[in-house]
Chains A and B, each alone.
Chain A
């Protein structure tokens, strides 16, 4: 056999091996999902049999079957038809996420446009401040948020979660990345043609810079669907809680129920992930963009 071909086969084998090694961690992603799915389809008795060793101190380990012996939709039935609280919490989550994202569109996107298009003295300094605010963890601003929400008597209402999140600077940063990619000459040309600044923003800016704001929406959705710290601190009334806080409250005695609730919580996130993956990647790249 000639050397060329041998080399070619070698490099192919190397690549196949590489893919295999890289796919190994993918197992770590797939297994938890399979575990949740199969758990949600087991009946109480079967699930109990598998996981009970975890709570009794006797011998034996938990065990599992990816294909349940007695598949049943009873868990889902109970969740969807007999548990009205679940719907309340589900809609709480939906409402919080929808209001936050809509608010961010109204507030953060124009701000990003302002920073990207109008180079004004002091603008850079202000933008640096936005970046710092974006990077401060919730715990640092927790007390200040509490004080102002208390002052406005918004504690224990959904606005307590929505309003501070609307003014988060992360979406400004991401949308800025999208707007920055629009060539300056294009805007100048529109100005020469007599377009007003607002028209330029709506007709040119939004369509051309949409990747930035869409990625802000996708990353925002995943973040706020998973919101925990803020509702934990500012919502006392459990009927106002989002799903993400409620799930961990379900006890092991109702494990089957917990599995179903987890799967239902997971579905919107998976949906957004699948639809928005390109924007998600774009958003991550924008978040790393040098200004």
Chain B
């Protein structure tokens, strides 16, 4: 055996030694049971007979499922662009300042606040007689433009926007840090050179900064997406298991099916959602590596 081959064998041995224990756990707790879920998605819940695609057919004709998919997609499509662009704006502004640690902490802190403690504040703020309406009413009286405002935010379609707001509030710090790291990676010389060549601020932003931030954008989008599923905590705690139609998300549906033991539907939906996410993530990874 060549020395190189020997080295390769040794490497393999240690790779297994370090990685295998964790991988076995993942096999037991995630991968094997997921195969079981795939199997279940093709059988009936009670008798376990093979049912072909019946479960899939059932979920795609299920009004609740369609509503939940629509809402989840809508939530993601609204939230992520808002978060990404606002985060970039804040990061660009922060980048001009020397003393940024205090402001960064302020943006990061909501990440540390347990949802359960925030929810009480949210409720007091967005109830019909809560702080937000009080604030709006005061402004209305002050400017004389409108009178008392008595809107219910949690029980109506406005709940969607409350959720969007609390998502942005919570994840802003994360996004700003990632954008700042991306900005720090752009070489100052390149920007300086462009400046000498007479490129204006906007030109430098569009032509040099943005193209160099593509990698950051990818990560930010992926992580924001991952975190967007955690908004269920806020939604569930402020509005319960059956909230307003506008915020009935996939997460609610999964939970309700789980509580009602509708495991066959759950299996089919888990396979669909998991499959779509996996394909999307792998495709993005591939795209990113090609660059």
Question: A residues engaging B (CB < 8 A)?
Answer: 15, 18-19, 21-23, 25-26, 28-30, 32-33, 35-36, 51, 53-54, 57, 60-64, 107-108, 110-111, 113-115, 118-120, 123, 126, 128, 131-148, 163-164, 166-167, 169, 172, 197, 201, 222, 225-226, 228-229, 232-233, 243-248, 258-259, 262-263, 265-266, 269-270, 272-273, 277, 280-281, 284-285, 287-288, 290
Contacts and interface: CB of A to CB of B under 8 A. Distances in A.
Interface in B136-165: 137
Size class of the contact patch on chain B: 35 or more
A118 B11 CA distance: 6
Contact of B223 (A35, A246, A270, A288): A288
B27 to A, nearest CB: 9
A200 to B, nearest CB: 10
B108 A266 contact: no
Contacts of B255: 139, 229, 232-233
A166 B121 CA distance: 32
B63 interface: no
Interface stretch (B50-58, B127-135, B194-202): B127-135
Nearest to B109: A29
Given A107-B25, A139-B250, A270 B112 contact: yes
A45 B235 CA distance: 30
Interface of B: 10-12, 14-19, 21-23, 25-26, 28-30, 32-34, 36-37, 40, 90, 93-94, 96-97, 99, 103-121, 123-124, 127-131, 133-134, 137, 169, 172, 174, 177-178, 181-182, 215-216, 219-220, 222-223, 225-226, 229-230, 232-233, 236-237, 250-251, 254-255, 258, 263, 266-267, 270, 273-274, 277-278, 281-282, 285, 288
Contacts of B36: 144, 147
A111 B18 contact: yes
Contacts of A262: 116-117, 120
B181 A285 contact: yes
Main secondary structure of the interface of A (DSSP, over half): helix
Contacts of B129: 53-54, 60-62
Chain B CB count within 10 A is highest, among A53, A229, A288, for: A288
Contacts of B277: 132, 135-137, 140
Main secondary structure of the interface of B (DSSP, over half): helix
A226 B114 contact: yes
Given A147-B36, A167-B29, A138 B131 contact: no
Given A61-B130, A135-B222, A142 B19 contact: no
Given A21-B93, A62-B127, A167-B29, A272 B112 contact: yes
A259 B123 CA distance: 13
Given A226-B115, A228-B115, A144 B30 contact: yes
Nearest to B34: A144
A141 B34 contact: yes
Given A22-B94, A120-B12, A138-B229, A247 B127 contact: no
A19 B124 contact: no
Nearest to B133: A61
Contacts of B250: 139
Given A120-B12, A134-B226, A265-B114, 11 more contacts: A19-B99, A36-B117, A114-B17, A136-B277, A141-B30, A143-B37, A148-B32, A226-B114, A229-B232, A229-B255, A288-B220
